Amino acid sequence: MLVKENAALLLIDMQGKLAQSMFEPDMVLENCAKLIQAAKLFEMPILILEQYPKGLGPTAPSLRELLGDQPAIEKVFFSACDSEEFQKQLRDAGRRQLLVAGIEAHVCVYQTVRDLLKQPYEVHVASDAVSSRTEWNRNIALERMREMGAVITSTEMALFEMMRAAKGDLFKPFAQIVK
């Protein structure tokens, strides 16, 4: 199970125009927003990735608003693991569990998850917060990531795992996120 004190959120390439062309874009954006809000509530590191932002644009405005002024890690490689800056920020985060959201499931998400699983990370993929332009590519990517050892989960399942109990100071704001 995910433990908030040991987890970080990876937000992969949730860039505006690209995000809108995905299968079920509203669901994916809404769930990414929930993950960001919960990560902030739980004081988890958030690593923001952007694939070639000069061409694909910045992170979707609705998500950027939640992220504040935290800069994104720009990349041209499909796997974020090929970025030295990503590897540095991942090491600096000091977390062993990674909760992954983003697009496209069968390209950048898949290749990043594949490479993270070769390192000493436990990778959880929020299946309702990842997508591709086609449902087929999204589904095959989730299947392949599961076969490689990633934990396929959902946004709420992951968040409730980290919340653990319906008590404490965090529960009321947590309930507002997942309602």
Q: In sequence order, which residues have a C-beta less than 8 Å from that of residue 104 and are 6 or more positions away?
A: 13, 18, 22, 131, 132, 133, 137, 141
Q: Is the peptide bond before 104 cis (omega within 30 degrees of 0)?
A: yes
Give the catalytic positions in this structure. Answer: 13, 75, 108
**CA gap 36, 66 in Å, rounded:** 7
> One digit per residue, pLDDT tens: the chain, 179 residues?
999 999 999 999 999 889 999 999 999 999 999 999 999 999 999 999 999 999 999 999 999 999 999 999 999 999 999 999 999 999 999 999 999 999 999 999 999 999 999 999 999 999 999 999 999 999 999 999 999 999 999 999 999 999 999 999 999 999 999 99
pLDDT tens-digit series, residues 85-122: 999 999 999 999 999 999 999 999 999 999 999 999 99
